Every structure is written in C-alpha cells, then in structure tokens.
Amino acid sequence: MYAPDFAYYRAGSLAEAGQLLQQHPGAKLLAGGHSLIPLLKLRLAAPAALVDIGRLDELKGVAVANGRVRIGALTTHAELAASSELATHAPALAEAAATIGDPAVRNRGTIGGNVAHADPASDLPTVLAALDATIATTGDGGGPGIAAADFFEGMMATALGDHDIVTAVEVPAAPTEQGQAYVKFAHPASRYAVVGVAAAVTVTGGTISTAAVALGGLVPTATRAASVEQALAGQTPSADVIAAAAAAVTADLGDDLIGDIYASAEYRRAMAPVCVKRALTAAVERASS
Ligand SMILES: Cc1cc2nc3c(=O)[nH]c(=O)nc-3n(C[C@H](O)[C@H](O)[C@H](O)COP(=O)(O)OP(=O)(O)OC[C@H]3O[C@@H](n4cnc5c(N)ncnc54)[C@H](O)[C@@H]3O)c2cc1C
C-alpha cells in the first residue's frame, strides 16, 4: 500500500528541525524510517508533513567522558553493534543492537527513532531501563535528560512533547566488575522481542553488589524486575541463586502481559524465567571473568 500524501522537509540543522516542527503542526520527524514508513503505508499514521533529520551529523556518534557514554540519537543500530566504546562500556547495548531485525533495518534504524517509537517489542528500551539511561531532548533545556523509567510511559507512549526531538541517549560507563547481557526470544521473521531481558550484575569481593534486570516484549513498556533484583542482592553467585532469582520474575509480570498472534500471554509468562535465567547466567559469567 502507498503512504498518504505528505509535505517533505529536510532539516539542515537541529535548530531548523525544531522550527519546522513548530511551523507544521502535526508534523512527524523522519530518522531511519523503519518504523514510521511502515506505519504510513499501513495508513496507521497520516501526518501532513515529515521533517527529515536523517542527515544531521551533530546527532551521530558515540562518545565516552566523565564516566558516561553519550550516544547521538541518529546513531544506527549497526553502528551501536560495531562500537568499540560500547563493547567496553555498555556491552549489553551493543549486544542488543546486533540482534535487531536484519542488516537493512540495522543500517537505517536509529537509537533515537527506536526510543521515540517505544514499541514494547523493541530491544533498546529494555537495555536502557536496565542501565539507568537518560534520554536527552530539545525539550529539557540542556538539562540532564529524562530517566528511562520516566521516559517510557506505556505502549508506544513516551514523555516527549509534540515538538521535542531526542538528541542523545546516555548511560553510565559500566564498572570493570560488572557483567552485562541481553537475551531475547525473537520473533522468527521480524526479530522483534517476544521476550527480551537485559541484565547488569556487579560482583564485588565474591558477592553480588548490584543487580539490574529489565524486561521487554512482555508488558506494555520496558520494566525493571524488582523481585529478581532483590533475590540477587548480596548473594554469592551460583546456579541455584540465579535459578531462584529467575523464578521470582513471575511476581514482576502483573496482569497486563501482552498476548498476540505471535505468542499468548501464557506463553510469554512461561518464557520469562527462561530468558531471565539465561541473561543472568551470561552477566554473572562476564562479571566474574
Ligand atoms: C522488518 C523490521 C524488523 C525490525 N526488527 C526490530 C527488532 O528486532 N528490534 C527492534 O528493536 N526494532 C526492530 N525494528 C524497528 C527498527 O529498529 C526501527 O528502525 C526503529 O524502531 C525506529 O528507528 P528509525 O530511525 O527507523 O525511526 P523512524 O521510523 O524514522 O521514526 C520512528 C518514530 O520516532 C520518531 N522519531 C525518530 N527520530 C526521532 C528523534 N530523534 N526524536 C524524536 N522523535 C523521533 C518519528 O517521528 C516516528 O514517530 C524493525 C523494523 C522493521 C521494519
């Protein structure tokens, strides 16, 4: 199906993109186009205008400074997957990006578009929730950005205002004693997450000093698994401790589990502890090596 008619503007700068959004009420930003164009073709969105930000170099790249990793909004999934900075300082993000879609999706899709679209089956919001990321936008007046826990408000709903543009995503650089992992049970065709789990576990002096675990694909928005995290805190890592913590995830799932034509809610509920266990096993192994 063809997309509905729309006016097209290519922004030459971030400032111009902001002006174009103000001038054309209801306009949508176009980044990699791999979520927006399908929506247009399915006639699920019909904006009168698109503002193309895809060529804004100021929004591209990964930089590490002062213990923080800053990723420009237009950095593609392929660039995340290949980034040596991310491999060292935020490996779960690189690992998750490498699992997204197929090479065409990874070469066009961007981290900014992925978080703004906020699909519950997306991979990056899950990792960002686990890593306590902040999302910087033109709406925050140069402030520290919006915490991931506040940014993702629900299914395809975010804290972004109508004219806000995501400029960057920031995560703390992982301490050397931390192991991170991302595991997903992927839809066989699209590779979207039926269940996605991100884990970051720090082992200090033989005990788990911090554990962050986030779930995606299961519920309307990326969510921290508080029961799993509590079951790990202060424990000596072992297969039994990991198994008990993974089983605790059922308490974090609530009643609004997603069920769709790909997998029922019951199936997702059964897969959740399996994926949590795999993610924790990998994260603990990496923390200890
Ligand atoms: C076949 C297929 C398979 C896929 N598989 C996966 C998968 O396995 N895992 C996964 O996570 N994703 C998957 N995706 C989605 C893909 O990652 C998208 O690229 C991504 O979700 C959106 O990024 P984009 O740059 O393409 O954004 P666009 O499609 O250009 O935009 C998406 C939305 O975000 C808004 N937007 C874009 N950039 C900004 C910004 N900087 N600030 C504010 N708003 C912005 C747009 O206005 C639009 O509403 C798949 C897509 C396809 C087509």
> Does the C-beta of 106 come closer than 6 Å to ligand 1?
no
* C-alpha distances out from residue 9 to 64, 69, 197, Å: 32, 31, 38
> Cα of 19 to ligand 1 centre, how many Å?
22
**What pLDDT is stored for residue 148 in this prediction?**
97
Residue nearest to atom 33 of ligand 1 (CA): 117
> Does the C-beta of 156 come closer than 6 Å to ligand 1?
no
Q: Work out the pLDDT band at 288, boundaries 50, 70, 90.
A: confident
Q: Which residue would you say has higher pLDDT here, 196 or 2?
A: 196
> Does the C-beta of 126 come closer than 6 Å to ligand 1?
no
Q: For the chain, where do the domains classified as CATH 3.30.43.10 start and end?
A: 7-52
d(CA 208, CA 178): 10
CA angle 204, 222, 192 (to 5 degrees): 110
Residue nearest to atom 17 of ligand 1 (CA): 109
Q: Work out the pLDDT band at 96, boundaries 50, 70, 90.
A: very high
> Does the C-beta of 30 come closer than 6 Å to ligand 1?
yes
Half-sphere exposure of 15 (CA within 13 A, CB side): 0
> Does the C-beta of 60 come closer than 6 Å to ligand 1?
no
* C-alpha distances out from residue 212 to 15, 150, 178, 224, 236, Å: 36, 17, 11, 7, 16
Residue nearest to atom 27 of ligand 1 (CA): 113
| Mutation probe of ligand 1 site: the residue of 21, 28, 30, 36 with most atoms within 8 A of C-beta | 36
In the chain, the N- to C-terminal Cα span, in Å, equals 51
Residue closest to 122 by CA, chosen among 180, 25, 190 = 190
Ligand 1 atom having least distance to the Cα of 191: 8
> Does the C-beta of 81 come closer than 6 Å to ligand 1?
no
Reply yes or no on whether the pLDDT at 143 is more than 80: no
* C-alpha distances out from residue 26 to 29, 50, 51, 96, 159, Å: 10, 9, 11, 32, 17
> Cα of 91 to ligand 1 centre, how many Å?
21
**What pLDDT is stored for residue 2 in this prediction?**
87
> Which residues are CB-contacts of 207 (< 8 A; sequence separation ≥ 6)?
234, 235, 236, 237
Q: For the chain, where do the domains classified as CATH 3.30.465.10 start and end?
A: 57-172
Here the tokens at position 75 are 């950095």
Q: Work out the pLDDT band at 144, boundaries 50, 70, 90.
A: confident
> Cα of 29 to ligand 1 centre, how many Å?
11
Ligand 1 atom having least distance to the Cα of 186: 8
Per-residue pLDDT reduced to its tens digit, 193-212: 999 999 999 999 999 999 99
One-letter identity of residue 189: A
The CATH number corresponding to 178-288 among 3.30.390.50, 3.40.50.300, 3.40.50.620, 2.60.120.10 equals 3.30.390.50
Question: What phi, psi does 268 have (nearest 5°)?
Answer: -60, -40
The CATH number corresponding to 7-52 among 3.20.20.140, 3.30.43.10, 3.30.565.10, 3.40.50.2300 equals 3.30.43.10
Let me know: does 135 contact 166? Beta carbons within 8 Å. Answer: yes
Reply yes or no on whether the pLDDT at 289 is more than 80: no
3-state DSSP percent of the chain in helix, strand and coil, to 5: 40, 25, 35
The CATH number corresponding to 57-172 among 3.60.15.10, 3.50.50.60, 3.30.465.10, 3.30.70.580 equals 3.30.465.10
Q: Work out the pLDDT band at 119, boundaries 50, 70, 90.
A: very high
Burial class (CB in 10 A: 0-12, 13-18, 19+), 44: exposed
Overall average pLDDT of the 170-184 stretch? 97
Phi-psi region of 254 (alpha: psi -120 to 50; beta: other; left: phi over 0): left
Let me know: does 211 contact 189? Beta carbons within 8 Å. Answer: no
DSSP 6: -
Residue nearest to atom 19 of ligand 1 (CA): 109
- For the four alpha carbons of 271, 274, 277 and 280, in that order, the dihedral sign comes to negative
CA angle 216, 263, 254 (to 5 degrees): 50
Element (H, E) at 149: helix 148-151
Residue written as tokens 């040596």? Answer: 84
β-bridge partners, 71: 62, 169
Overall average pLDDT of the 51-78 stretch? 97
